[in-house]
Amino acid sequence: MLGKMIVFSAPSGAGKTSIVKALLEKFKWLEFSVSATSRASRPGETNGIDYFFIEKEEFVSRIERGDFLEWEEVYKDNFYGTLLSEVERMWQKGHLVVFDVDVAGGINIKKKFSSAVLSVFVMPPSLEILEERLRGRNTETDDSLRKRIMKASKELEYAKDFDHIVVNDQLHEAIEEAAKLVQAFAGKP
């Protein structure tokens, strides 16, 4: 049986990881869906916690086997996706599943599972601030930064396709707003 799902999408750097982390601490009935990816792990990332790191060839063969609830080639040759087995394990515990996926992935999940999904778009206050935050995170090369900013300006056009938009200006306010949306959808006090 299909359980409830909550999707947070945003251009990279808008703050969705920060918001999702805070919600997971606040609500014990939420569980994070660890995605699989074919990109290399960054320093400090742990397999099975940040992502399941899978070689590209294996990723593609698992797509063909139907192992993914959804997947996207988010950047060229970098695949990302949600393993069905992970999500089913969480629903069996009565938990709601939270996804942190790119904008195309968020729209796909909403389309595919409609009312079982709450979709939230995390909006940066501006593209300039987004770039500042990405630089401040110190995770990108000049090339990947440029790619992410170019992609971001397109992604902002899809905000209207989400159930809700949360502007992440002051992080604590964005967390509070997101928490209210999640609680209402989950039907939990």
- Partner interacting with residue 35 (select from ligand 5GP, ligand ADP, none; CB below 5-8 Å by kind): ligand 5GP
Q: Which residues pair with 49 in a beta bridge?
A: none
- Partner interacting with residue 155 (select from ligand ADP, ligand 5GP, none; CB below 5-8 Å by kind): none
Q: Does 72 bind ligand 5GP (CB under 6 A)?
A: yes
Number of residues that bind ligand 5GP (CB under 6 A): 13
Q: Is the dihedral of CA 112, 5, 12, 79 positive or negative?
A: negative
Of the candidates 109, 112, 88, 135, which has an alpha carbon nearest to the alpha carbon of residue 8?
A: 109
- Closest separation in Å from C-beta 43 to ligand ADP: 15
Burial degree of 77 (CB within 10 A; 0-12, 13-18, 19+): exposed
User: 123 and 14 in contact (C-beta within 8 Å)?
Assistant: yes
- Partner interacting with residue 171 (select from ligand 5GP, ligand ADP, none; CB below 5-8 Å by kind): ligand ADP
Q: Does 101 bind ligand 5GP (CB under 6 A)?
A: yes
User: 59 and 38 in contact (C-beta within 8 Å)?
Assistant: yes
Q: Could you say which of 6, 20, 80, 110 contacts ligand 5GP (CB under 6 A)? A: 80
User: 9 and 103 in contact (C-beta within 8 Å)?
Assistant: yes
Strands 52-53, 5-9: pairing is unpaired
- Partner interacting with residue 119 (select from ligand ADP, ligand 5GP, none; CB below 5-8 Å by kind): none
Binding to ligand 5GP by CB under 6 A, coded x per residue (else -) over 17-56, reads ------------------x---x-----------------
Rounded Cα gap, residues 189 and 180, in angstroms: 10
Rounded Cα gap, residues 121 and 96, in angstroms: 18
Of 154 and 188, CB closest to ligand 5GP: 154
Residues that bind ligand 5GP (CB under 6 A): 12, 35, 39, 70, 72, 74, 80-82, 100-102, 105
